[in-house]
Amino acid sequence: MKRILPVLLMAILLASCSSLKMVGDVNMISSRNVDSKTDYVLIKTSTDDSKRNFKKNKAATVDQAINNVVMNVPGGEFLKNAKLYTDGKEWGILGDVWGLTESANIEGFKIGDSVLIKNSLLNKGKFTKGVINGFKDRKTCIVKVESGDLKECSFTDLSKSAI
């Protein structure tokens, strides 16, 4: 009897744990209107790591989960080849992000913009010239500086330049 009780308790605990379950597999999903006459391009392909993606982009509703994925990709408009996941309380989504690359604009900056980078520790309050090469997320971007090196910069350290 003493051996059965711990095994029974462990079985109950494992059975009560909610696990991540795939709810659906859809061809295309969006929380916004999509113009059928516009030529959208594939911006970012999904990686099939559903558990990590779920933790990163989980939301209380499906449309919030879609927006969490789409809005984190500059120019993103909708998802194709999407998979919906739930843990019983929250939703997560995985898919290929499609959109318009020329509309990639975060904090007023676009890819190719000439910028001045202020970094008081390295440049003692001076500015370094560079060009935005890409976006990492909604707070940082990758800038190619004059020396040709790529540098990760916060948008708060940038100002537009008319180089």
Q: What pLDDT band is residue 35 in, cutting at 50, 70 and 90?
A: confident
Q: What is the dihedral of CA 111, 43, 41, 101, to 10 degrees?
A: -10
> 100, 38 in Cβ contact below 8 A?
yes
Gap between the Cα atoms of 52 and 21, Å rounded: 13
Asked if the model's pLDDT at residue 40 lies above 90, the reply is: no
> 76, 137 in Cβ contact below 8 A?
no
- DSSP 8-state class, residue 64: H
H/E stretch holding 154: strand 150-154
Gap between the Cα atoms of 75 and 15, Å rounded: 42
At residue 79, the pLDDT reads 92
This model's pTM is above 0.75? no
Residue 95: count of CB within 10 angstroms of its CB: 24
Q: What is the dihedral of CA 134, 81, 19, 70, to 10 degrees?
A: 30
> 72, 38 in Cβ contact below 8 A?
no
Dihedral-angle region of residue 21 (phi above 0 means left; psi in -120 to 50 means alpha; beta otherwise)? beta
- Closest by alpha carbon to 77, among 44, 54, 48? 44
Quick one: average pLDDT of 130-155?
A: 82
Which domains occur in the chain, in start order? 18-103 (no CATH), 105-160 (2.30.30.140)
How confident is the model over 90-116, as pLDDT tens digits?
A: 998 888 988 877 656 777 888 788 898
At residue 80, the pLDDT reads 93
Q: Is 151 helix (H, G, I), strand (E, B) or coil?
A: strand
